[in-house]
Amino acid sequence: MRRVLHLAWVEVLHLVRDRASLAQLLLVPFIQLVILANAATFAIRDTPFALVDLDGTPASRALARHFLASPHFRPISGASTVPAADRAMLAGRATMVLVIPRGFDEALERGEGAFVQVQLNAEKGSAAGIVQTYAQRIVRRFGEERLAASPAGRLRPAIAVTTRGWYNAELDYRQYMVPGILVALVTLVGTLFTAQNIAREKELGTLEQLNVTPISKRAFIGAKLLPFWVLGMVELLLGLWIGAAVFGMPMRGSLLLLMAIAAVYLVAALGAGLLISTIVETQQQAMFVTFFVMMIYLLMSGLYTPVDSMPGWVRVVAEANPVKHFVEITRAILLKGAGPGDIVKPAAMLAMFAVGFGGMAVGRYRKGER
């Protein structure tokens, strides 16, 4: 045990001595957190739109006012004819074009259905879908108001629908993203730095020196991983604190439960890093292989886009992704206040990964070989 602590202390000294690396270890994750939390957003606001009102009646102007009043839309100037709006969209100045055709008011007065045309720049696929939802909601609401006001249709709705969005009442994207970003950062620290650290010892030849010492394989690996495990836990705690203090991220569940699961998860992440270090020879390889693996893990974790939106076979593959389970758990605990009973399945999966990766890494690591 004393040997382990000794070796771990060497590792700590290395970390503290190398100022540039230390600064990166401590600062970069938090700068990333702050930037990512603000940048990683699919929130739609101020969508620039061109209004082409070919009708010019009180009714068409009323509909236009509905759009102008919405926080999701912002009108652009100088694009009030169809060709001008078309050019604006081609130049990227307008994301949406709303065309109110001639005879809009008449059609409404006659009680027939009136039509408007909404053109969307669908280059940004998912965003276009959301903008469409907002636009149609405005149009529908306008229609309902007209209906309620007209003498012919003075019908009260037969069903009163009330909608409630749970867990994120203000629809603040950051509350959803911050827990996920924290997971990504902790994973990065755990996997990348472990893989690279051992690859560096290989490259410099100091691993051979360690190999001829009487220390056992398990003790060596334990000593290598311990400082990074502690670092990961500290960074997670700090990140949670920043998330709560700066971004008002809620903490509805038990912090203790989250940290306990993080402790297990970090073993899996560090184990993955160690596993990578056993198959590479240089730092460069360590970086690229880690990058490759992390990219797949993060993209398929539901961090950016919901796993439920992925095709069936991808969802099956995603079950073999520890990051996915930890993102799920973190969001469930922080945003939904999930208790131990609600997260048994993903937590069990994480434990399996921790044992699996850790075991494989220890098994593959051989003293005496390079």
Partner 1 sequence: MRKRAALAGLVWKETRHILRDRKTLAVILLMPLLQVILFGYAIRTDIDDVRLAIVDPVPDHATHALRDRFGATELFRIVAVRRSSADLDGLFASGRIHQAVVFQPGFAERLAHDGPAPVQVITDAAEPNTGTAMQAYATAVIREYESGLRGSGPAGAAVTASVRMRFNPTRESANLFVPGLIAYVITIISALMTAISLSREKETGTMEVLLVSPLRPREIIAGKVAPYLLIGMATVILVLAEARLIFGVPLRGSAALLLAEGLLFTGTSLALGILISARTPSQRVAMTAVLAGTMLPTVMLSGFIFPIESLPAPLRLLSVVIPARWFVEIARGIMLKGTGLAELWQETVVLAAMTAALLAASMRSFRTRLE
Other CB atoms closer than 10 Å to residue 196's CB: what's the count? Answer: 22
Tokens of 271: 């184990």
Per-residue DSSP letter, 177: H
Query: Is the Cβ–Cβ distance between 261 and 350 less than 8 Å?
Result: yes
Q: Residue 136 CB, nearest distance to partner 1 (Å)?
A: 5
CB-facing half-sphere around the CA of 312: CA atoms within 13 A: 0
Interface of this chain with partner 1, residues 52 to 71, rule: CB under 8 A: 63
Interface region with partner 1, contact rule CB under 8 A, candidates 49-57, 166-174, 265-273, 353-361: 166-174
d(CA 271, CA 358): 4
Query: In the complex with partner 1, which residue's Cβ is closer, 10 or 310?
Result: 310
**90 contacts partner 1 (rule: CB under 8 A):** yes
| One residue of 158, 212, 245, 256 binding partner 1 per CB under 8 A | 158
Q: Which lies closer to partner 1 via its Cβ, residue 152 or residue 245?
A: 152
How would you label 279-315 residue by residue, b for 16+ Cβ within 10 Å and e otherwise? ebeebebbbebbeebbeebbebbbbeeebeeeeeeee
**SS3 label, residue 49:** strand
Nearer to partner 1, 4 or 175 (CB): 175
- Confirm or reject binding of residue 147 to partner 1 (CB under 8 A): yes
Between residues 229 and 297, which has the closer beta carbon with respect to partner 1?
297
Q: What is the Cα–Cα distance from 63 to 48, expressed in whole angstroms?
A: 17
Instruction: Collect all residues with Cβ–Cβ distance below 8 Å to 144 and sequence separation of at least 6.
Output: none
Residue 288: name the closest of 183, 196, 186 by CA.
196
Residues 169-208 that bind partner 1 (CB under 8 A): 169, 171-173, 175-176, 196, 200
Q: How far apart are CA 370 and CA 363, in angstroms?
A: 15
Of residues 254-273, those binding partner 1 (CB under 8 A): none
- Applying CB under 8 A, does 95 fall inside the site for partner 1? yes
Q: Which of residues 304-333 bind partner 1 (CB under 8 A)?
A: 304-306, 308-311, 314, 328, 331-332
CB of 180 to partner 1, least distance (A): 10
* String of contacts with partner 1 for each residue 273-302, x by CB under 8 A: ------xxxxxxx-xxx-xx--xx--xx--
Please enumerate in sequence order all residues whose Cβ is within 8 A of that of 261, keeping only pairs 6 or more positions apart, or say none. 326, 329, 333, 343, 347, 350
Least CB distance to partner 1 at residue 360 (A): 18
Point out which residues pair with 48 in neighbouring strands. Answer: 74
For residue 343, the minimal CB distance to partner 1 (Å) is: 7
Nearer to partner 1, 143 or 356 (CB): 143
CA–CA distance, 30 with 24 (Å, rounded to integer):
10
Shortest separation between residue 31's beta carbon and partner 1, angstroms? 7
- 61: nearest Cα among 24, 4, 116: 116
Q: Can residue 40 be called a binding residue for partner 1 (CB under 8 A)?
A: yes
| Comparison of 127 and 233: residue with beta carbon closer to partner 1 | 127
- Candidate residues 8, 85, 139, 183; the one interacting with partner 1 per rule CB under 8 A: 139
Residues that bind partner 1 (rule: CB under 8 A) add up to a total of 118
Q: Does 233 bind partner 1 (CB under 8 A)?
A: no
Does 51 engage in binding with partner 1 (CB under 8 A)? no
Please tell me whether residue 113 binds partner 1 under the rule CB under 8 A.
Answer: yes
